[in-house]
Each structure stands twice: as C-alpha cells, then as structure tokens.
Structure 1
Amino acid sequence: MFWAALLDFFCIPFIVFISFMIILSAVNKSVGVRRAYVKLLLKIFEFGRLSIESAAKERQKLVGDAIFNNSQDRKLDEINLTFRKKTGRTIPTTNGNTLISRDSVLLPTSNEPAASDIESSPKDEEMRFNLEKCLDYIKAGVESIIEDEVTSRFEAEELKSWNLLTRTNRHYEFISWKITLIWMTGFAVRYFILMPLRVFVCFIGVVWLTVCTAIVGYIKDGEYKRRMVDQVLGHCFSVLSSAISAVIYYHNVENRPTNGICVANHTSPIDVLVLMCDKTYSLIGQRHGGFLGLLQRALARASPHIWFERGEARDRHAVAERLKQHVSNPNNPPILIFPEGTCINNTSVMQFKKGSFEVGGVIYPVAIKYDPRFGDAFWNSSKYSMMQYLYMMMTSWAIVCDVWYLPPMYRQEGESAIDFANRVKSVIAKQGGLVDLVWDGQLKRMKPKKEWRELQQVEFAKRLKGD
C-alpha cells in the first residue's frame, strides 16, 4: 500500500505536467519556464566562474610565493658560496636571518667582446644562407603540426569557462565545497530528473508525430492540407524540442523563407528541429535507418521531401533535376539544404557545395549559432552514434541557440555557382559570428586531394626561385 500510494503521489503530477506541456505545444504557447531555467543556469555559471578564478588566483599566489622563496634560497646559497671562496668565512646570521652587504658581493665580469661589438665582414654576408623566402611555409607547417584550422573544426568547441559538465572539463569539480555541492546537485538533476523526463517526452513526441502525419497524409492535396501540415508539424516539433529543453531565439522573422531554397550552416541534426519549430520545410538528404529513418518516413507521409539512396545521391544530375522540380512548384514549401554536407563544430562555416546554387531562383540564407555553455550541439558522427548523441543532448543542461533569417539573395549576371555559394557563405558566417573557411568539410572523412598538394608544391617552388 505504501509503495502504491508513493507511486500515485509522483505519477499523477507527472502525467498532469506532461499533458499540460503537450497542450501548450499544440496551441504554440509558452509560459517561459525554459527561459527562466536558462537565466538561473547563467547565474550559477557566473558563480562558478568567479569561484574558479578566485581559486586560480589563490593557487597562483601560493605557487608564486614558493617559487620566490626557493629562488631567494638559491641566491643566498650562491652568495654564501662566493663569499666563502673569497674570504674563507661564512656570512654572519642574526636570529636565523642572513645579513649581507651588497659591497661584499663580487659580480663576475667577462672579458669576452659582446656579440653586438663584432662587425660582420662582406664575405660573411655573402656566405650566409637566407631563409626569408621560405619562413612563411616553415611557420605554416609548424602551426599545422601543432593545430591546423581544419581538423580542429571537427572536435567539440572549447569553452572559455566551465559549464559544470565533466565532459567538457574534469579539473574544477573539487576546487571548493560549494562548487562540489553544485556539481553533485546538477548531476542528480540532469540524470535522475531531467533525463527520464526528456526521454519520456521524446517518446511521446515521436509517437505523436507518427500518428499525426499518418492522419494528415490521408487528406487530399490542396490549401487545406498545407495549412494542416503547418499546424501539425509546428506543434509536433515543439513537443520534440521540449525533449532537449530547447530555447530558440528567432531574429529578422520578416525574412522567413516562403518558397525556393533555404540554406543554412550545419552543426547538428537538431538544426532541422530548430528551424521546423518556426516554419515548415521540405527536406533533402540520404535515406537513413533507425531513429532518423523513422522520422523520415513519418515526415514523407504529410509533405513532399526528397530522399535518396546512398548510390543515387552520388548522381549530381539526378539530385539537381529533382531539386528543380520541387522548386518549380509554388505550392511546395521551401526546401531546406545544408550545403556543407557535414556537421561543423559551431565555430566556423566550411565550403558550400555548388549544386544547390546552380538550380536558379531565390536563395534564403539562415545563420544558426548555438550557445555552447549549456550543451555542445555538435554531432561528431565519426565518433558517436545517433543514440549516443541523443543521450548527450538529453543529459546536457539545455540547447540554446539563435537563428537569423537573412534577406533573400539572387545569383548575379555572369556570376558562377561557386562564387554565388561563397558569397552566401560569407553572409552567413558574418551574421553568425563564425569563421569563414574555404576548406571542404569532407576532409573529416577523406585525405586532401592530390591537386591541392601539387598546387602548394608549385607555389613553394616559385618562392624558392624568386619568381
């Protein structure tokens, strides 16, 4: 009886809370709980930052004092040794403190001429080898060995301050009893309260999405079905966003895409969820199995999407043709494309593939920037599976991001598709505060192309020849 009563005590409020949340999502309303939660986290992070800085200063002071004392001891030993060699006596001490006079210290003097006093002869100048022409390459090579600007984009973003997650840093949780208490409380909240709740909400959201899209799929094509799809997908993705405690800020909504092609920088599969919470899009991509495949099949029942098999996706002409057919129909929603072709770690934008910029028509750029303090949204697909990634998302504090809708852009007369893609990429990088890189994101999975290496070799040879 006791356990049954205890179970009822916890289950009834839990079910009421979930039902209330789903109703709010269905009517696209928010009571501001997540935003208040994020503000509370910011205050906790600030307290943690100040505590860490204070502990670091105290430690630095202690280490500095120890170094200073050791240095003074070494100097006194050297002075005592010199004095004993010169006079045969030791320096007198009083009450344990050494007393010395600066006049008794004889500093060594060198009779060797200084290097600056030696004049170089013309003959030496002729024989000296000049490395000036290849120093830039040596510097670039050393920098690349230490850390190049490409592979670092496929690792988790480095935080400026600790966010109380041991996956980002394991050096600070025991610096003081207050930080330890906060960290242990946060661990309990994330793993024993938030995670079970988020898993349950995710399950409800996927089931709800599957059922709703199946029902909408039976409605006859037309204006009414499009309105129903917008409403259904909007509140289904709103429920799914609750599974990761997503807080999304949309800017410049007057530039929200209406048709054509929408391109955005790519950090995570969550990018789709972030954008679909505000606007319905058609998607293009490779067919997947598992959890992603389930979502793809559900979405395909309600609205037009373009899914390719692995072998078919390599046929650029087939992809371009299906893309043109979709864009040419004004009744289709805008199609969402991530031209980078892979996930980048929220710090930069890498090379845009030119395919989506050859179709013609309007391009709607969108910049997405996640706040890494609350959770790392980057998906390193070569290191983590989709289920591992979802586990990390659901055990993070939250997913907070900004979305900027940028003015529509058109391909200019005489402009190549590559130049147009680079122009759009530059605009997205500038708005999102991201680094604009020319490298192909597929370097995460393949070696640099042979022609790239040969181009660098030719340039190096020209410099050595003095061309």
Structure 2
Amino acid sequence: MFWAAILDFFCIPFIVFISFMIILSAVNKSVGVRRAYVKLLLKIFEFGRLSIESAAKERQKLVGETIFNNTQDRKLDDINLSYCKKTGRTIPTTNGNTLISRDSVLLPTSNEPTASDIESSSKDEEIRFNLEKCLDYIKAGVESIIEDEVTSRFEAEELKSWNLLTRTNRHYEFISWKITLIWMTGFAVRYFILMPLRVFVCFVGVYVAVVANSLVAMIPFEFLRHPCADLSFKITFRLMTRSLSAVITFHNTEYKPKGSGFCVANHTSPLDVAILSTDCTFSLIGQRHGGFLGLLQRALARASPHIWFERGEARDRHAVAERLKQHVSNPNNPPILIFPEGTCINNTSVMQFKKGSFEVGGVIYPVAIKYDPRFGDAFWNSSKYSMMQYLYMMMTSWAIVCDVWYLPPMYRQEGESAIDFANRVKSVIAKQGGLVDLVWDGQLKRMKPKKEWRELQQVEFAKRLKGD
C-alpha cells in the first residue's frame, strides 16, 4: 500500500502535466512559463557579467596592470579577447565585423572561360609577367591564413559575456561565492531536473506522432484527413520543441508559406525543421534513416506526403528533380521545406545555396532563422559531434531561443539563371536575419575545392597577368 501511494503521488501529477502540455500544443498556446524563465536567465547572466567585471577590477588594483579602458564596452571586449586566447577558440565576429577588412573576394564569375581556353589563347597572345599583378593574391592568401572565412563559420559562435554554461580556463565560476552558488544551482537544475523531464517529454512527442499519424492514415475521407494530418504534424513538433524549453518568436506571419512550392531557409541546426514546423505544415525531404529518425520518418509519412530517398537514389539529381516537380505540381500538397546550404552553419552567416530547388520552378518562400546563443549554442558541428551527443548538449542547455522571419514569396525572373535566383534569395535571407552573406560552398568543411573552381582561379590570374 505504501509503494502504491508513493507511485500514485508521482504518477498523477506527471499524467496531468503531460495531458495539459498536449492540449496546449494542440491549440498552440502558452501560459508564459518559458518566457518568464528566459527573462530570469537574462537577469542572472547580467549579474554574472557585472560580477566578472568587478573581480577583474579587483585584480587590476592588486596586480597593478592596466587591463581595462574607461568605457564599459571596452572592458567587456578585453574579457572576451582573453577568453578566446585561453580557450583556443576563434575571436568572435559579430554582425559580420571581422579582424580583417577585405576589399573584395577574388572569385571569378561563372561565365569565365576555362583553363583550356587560356591554353588555346596563349598561342596568339604573349603574357608578360608583372610582379605587381601577384600582390592581390599574396594579400588574400595572408588574410586567409590569419582569418579563414570558411573555417570560422564551423566553430561555435562566441559570446560577449559568460552564460554560466560554457567551461573556460578563466574559471569564472569561482570568482566569488555568489557566482559559485548560482553556477552549482544551475548545474543541478539543468542535469537533474530539466534534462530528465525534457527526455521524457521528447519521447512523449514521438509516441504522440506515431499514434496520431497512424490514426490519421486510417481516416477514409480526404477532406477530413488533410486538416487532421496538419494538426498531428504541428502537435508532434510543438511537443518536441517544448522538450527543449524552446521560445520561438515569429515575425511577418502574413508571409507564411501557403500552398505548394518551396520554403527555403538558412541552416544552423537539425532543430530548424522542428522550429519551423511548429507554425506551419511542410513536406519534408531527405534520406531514409534507421533508428530514432527512421521511426519518426515512417510515422510522419503515414499521414502526409513527404519525400524520403534511399542513399543511392538521393545522389541521382534527375530522379530528385522529378520527384520535386511531381510534388509541387499538386496544389493540395504542402510546401517542401529545404535548406539549400546542405550543411549547418554557425548562426553567423549564410553560405552558398545549391541551385537544385531553384531549377524546378514554382514559388519560393524565404525564411530567416536566428538563434540567441546566450541560452545555448544551437549550431551542430557534425564533424565533431554525433547526433546523440548534439541532442545531449541541447537537453542540458538553458533553453533554445530564436527568431523566425517570414519573407515575401519570390519568383524566378525571366532570363534569370538558377544560380542568380539562388543568390538573390540568399541575400534577402542574410539581410533579414542579420547574417553575413558569403559566396563560399559550405561543403568545403568536408572536401577540397572543386577542380573547376581552381581552374577558374587560374583563368582569373592569367587575365591579370595579361593586363586586362
């Protein structure tokens, strides 16, 4: 009897809590607990920042070193610089401000002649060498050694102040007994209260997805099945985002994707799919997986049209394009959610968009996503962390806070190439999200530059030598 009473004491509140959360997810409402939690965290972070600065002042008086300037901003920047040097991380770049001011990126245009064209033309023209023509390339090479634009986009975004989360060699958590107490309390809350609760809610979300989508698939009437599938899709991802204490702010909702087409967004994390799917229904596209992701894929595919490819089939561009055309040709299908960068970028930039989804035709719905790194780094470095390691880090972060901007739909103009259209969409997303617009291919983090790009650089250099 005693153990049964204890079991009832703990189980009943959990059942009520989960039921209440499912109801809130269904109606897309919130009681404001998460936003109040985020505001409290901001006050704690500010207290920690002031405590760090006060401790630094005391050290300055004792040691007699001139570490800080008169302004408060300069003091904070010096602390950041010391932190970066100690931890070996890259020095932060905020809103595109870098250590080096580059005049231009030495990239040829896509319509330049190839290296073979230069070989044929060199028979008719004599190329005179001029050392001055090499200086721009030498300067660009030295700049890349000092500050690599590509590699720095795959490192964690640096913070202006410590968020009581990241371990550093500065040992900020021990500068005062108050900070130590707050840090230990935060550690206990995140690992022993929030993480078990979040894991439980996440599994409830997957269970709801499997059951709800299975029931929707059994509905014989199409006019009733579509709204039910839409609701089950949103409830699934609302529960999953709430398992991460996600606080999402949507802007310009009048431009929300409607009807068939492509929703195109910058890519920071696998969570991007869940973030966007809490407010709008999408058809997802990707490779078939096993395990946890495979279970979720099969559950979603029962009730709504999604495009899953086998590993070999996904490499066939023509087969992919044909499947996309068939999907967008049906006006009843939801828009396809695509991340044209093809890899995750660290929440500071937007890199080269692949042209595939811009060749198919149809309307493009641009969306910009920007995470607040103070509460947790949402960037997934797939070269460093596995999916399970990444999910573990997200489950033990303070929260996931982000802003989402819907942008006006865009269409391919007459005579505009797919590459130009992709670049135009990319620039709009970068501008709205306050991100740096880069021309580099994000796949450079995994592979060497293509041979065609090296040849185009050789063509550009040959033109400079000729004095064009």
Does the TM-score normalized on the shorter chain lie above 0.5? Answer: yes
Moved more, 139-148 or 43-52: 139-148
Q: Supply the distance in 1 between the matched residues of 2:134 and 2:58 (Cα, whole angstroms).
A: 45
- Give the secondary structure class of the aligned counterpart of 2:250: strand
**Which residue of structure 2 aligns with residue 387 of structure 1?**
388
Is the 8 Å Cα contact of residues 366 and 406 (structure 1) preserved in structure 2?
Answer: yes
**AA in 1 matched with 2:305:** P
**AA in 2 matched with 1:291:** F
1:222 aligns with 2:205: no
**Which residue of structure 2 aligns with residue 302 of structure 1?**
303
Deviations 1:9-63 (A, max 9, x none): 4444333323322222233221011011011111111111111122223323433
**Which residue of structure 2 aligns with residue 64 of structure 1?**
64
- Gap change, CA 1:408 and 1:429, over 3 Å in 2: same
**Which residue of structure 2 aligns with residue 183 of structure 1?**
183
Is the 8 Å Cα contact of residues 244 and 394 (structure 2) preserved in structure 1?
Answer: yes
Is the 8 Å Cα contact of residues 347 and 371 (structure 2) preserved in structure 1?
Answer: yes
Q: Supply the distance in 2 between the matched residues of 1:158 and 1:450 (Cα, whole angstroms).
A: 34
**AA in 2 matched with 1:31:** V
Q: Supply the distance in 1 between the matched residues of 2:169 and 2:282 (Cα, whole angstroms).
A: 37
Moved more, 150-159 or 362-371: 150-159
Q: Supply the distance in 1 between the matched residues of 2:65 and 2:422 (Cα, whole angstroms).
A: 57
Map of 1:227-238 to 2, 5 A cutoff? 227-238=227-238
Moved more, 266-275 or 422-431: 266-275
Residue 234 of structure 1: CA displacement?
1.6
Is the 8 Å Cα contact of residues 60 and 66 (structure 2) preserved in structure 1?
Answer: no
1:366 aligns with 2:367: yes
1:433 aligns with 2:398: no
Q: Supply the distance in 2 between the matched residues of 1:261 and 1:66 (Cα, whole angstroms).
A: 55
- Give the secondary structure class of the aligned counterpart of 1:357: helix
**AA in 1 matched with 2:285:** I
Residue 248 of structure 1: CA displacement?
0.4
Map of 1:327-338 to 2, 5 A cutoff? 327-338=328-339
1:313 aligns with 2:321: no
Moved more, 305-314 or 2-11: 2-11
**AA in 2 matched with 1:43:** K
Higher relative contact order (CA closer than 8 Å, sequence separation 6+) = 2
Residue 387 of structure 1: CA displacement?
1.1
Is the 8 Å Cα contact of residues 268 and 378 (structure 1) preserved in structure 2?
Answer: yes
**AA in 2 matched with 1:217:** A
**Which residue of structure 1 aligns with residue 41 of structure 2?**
41
Is the 8 Å Cα contact of residues 264 and 337 (structure 1) preserved in structure 2?
Answer: yes
Is the 8 Å Cα contact of residues 375 and 398 (structure 1) preserved in structure 2?
Answer: yes
**AA in 1 matched with 2:200:** F
Structure 2, unmatched stretches of 5+, are 68-129
- Gap change, CA 1:132 and 1:46, over 3 Å in 2: farther
Moved more, 153-162 or 214-223: 214-223
Residue 445 of structure 1: CA displacement?
1.2
Deviations 1:284-307 (A, max 9, x none): 111122221111111110100111
- Gap change, CA 1:167 and 1:311, over 3 Å in 2: farther
Moved more, 359-368 or 15-24: 15-24
**Which residue of structure 2 aligns with residue 262 of structure 1?**
263
Map of 1:15-414 to 2, 5 A cutoff? 15-65=15-65, 133-167=133-167, 171-220=171-220, 222-259=222-259, 260-414=261-415
Residue 437 of structure 1: CA displacement?
0.7
Q: Supply the distance in 2 between the matched residues of 1:393 and 1:173 (Cα, whole angstroms).
A: 21
- Give the secondary structure class of the aligned counterpart of 2:162: coil
Q: Supply the distance in 1 between the matched residues of 2:307 and 2:14 (Cα, whole angstroms).
A: 39
Is the 8 Å Cα contact of residues 361 and 412 (structure 2) preserved in structure 1?
Answer: yes
Residue 168 of structure 1: CA displacement?
6.9
Q: What is the aligned length?
A: 405
Question: What fraction of aligned residue pairs are identical, expressed as a percent?
Answer: 87
Residue 459 of structure 1: CA displacement?
3.7
**AA in 2 matched with 1:422:** N
TM-score (norm 2): 0.82
TM-score (norm 1): 0.82
**AA in 2 matched with 1:236:** T
The structure with the largest alpha-carbon Rg is 1
Moved more, 31-40 or 53-62: 53-62
Q: Supply the distance in 1 between the matched residues of 2:32 and 2:175 (Cα, whole angstroms).
A: 34
**AA in 2 matched with 1:253:** T
Moved more, 171-180 or 6-15: 6-15
Q: Supply the distance in 2 between the matched residues of 1:43 and 1:250 (Cα, whole angstroms).
A: 24
Deviations 1:242-274 (A, max 9, x none): 110111000000000012111111111111111
**AA in 2 matched with 1:305:** H
- Gap change, CA 1:66 and 1:411, over 3 Å in 2: closer
- Give the secondary structure class of the aligned counterpart of 2:238: helix
Deviations 1:411-434 (A, max 9, x none): 111100000000000000000011
Is the 8 Å Cα contact of residues 162 and 169 (structure 1) preserved in structure 2?
Answer: no
Q: Supply the distance in 2 between the matched residues of 1:143 and 1:8 (Cα, whole angstroms).
A: 65
Give the root-mean-square deviation of aligned CA atoms.
2.2
Deviations 1:73-112 (A, max 9, x none): xxxxxxxxxxxxxxxxxxxxxxxxxxxxxxxxxxxxxxxx
Residue 146 of structure 1: CA displacement?
2.9
- Gap change, CA 1:237 and 1:464, over 3 Å in 2: same
**AA in 2 matched with 1:383:** K
Residue 338 of structure 1: CA displacement?
0.7
Residue 206 of structure 1: CA displacement?
0.5
Q: Supply the distance in 2 between the matched residues of 1:441 and 1:318 (Cα, whole angstroms).
A: 24
Structure 1, unmatched stretches of 5+, are 68-129
Moved more, 175-184 or 18-27: 18-27
1:418 aligns with 2:423: no
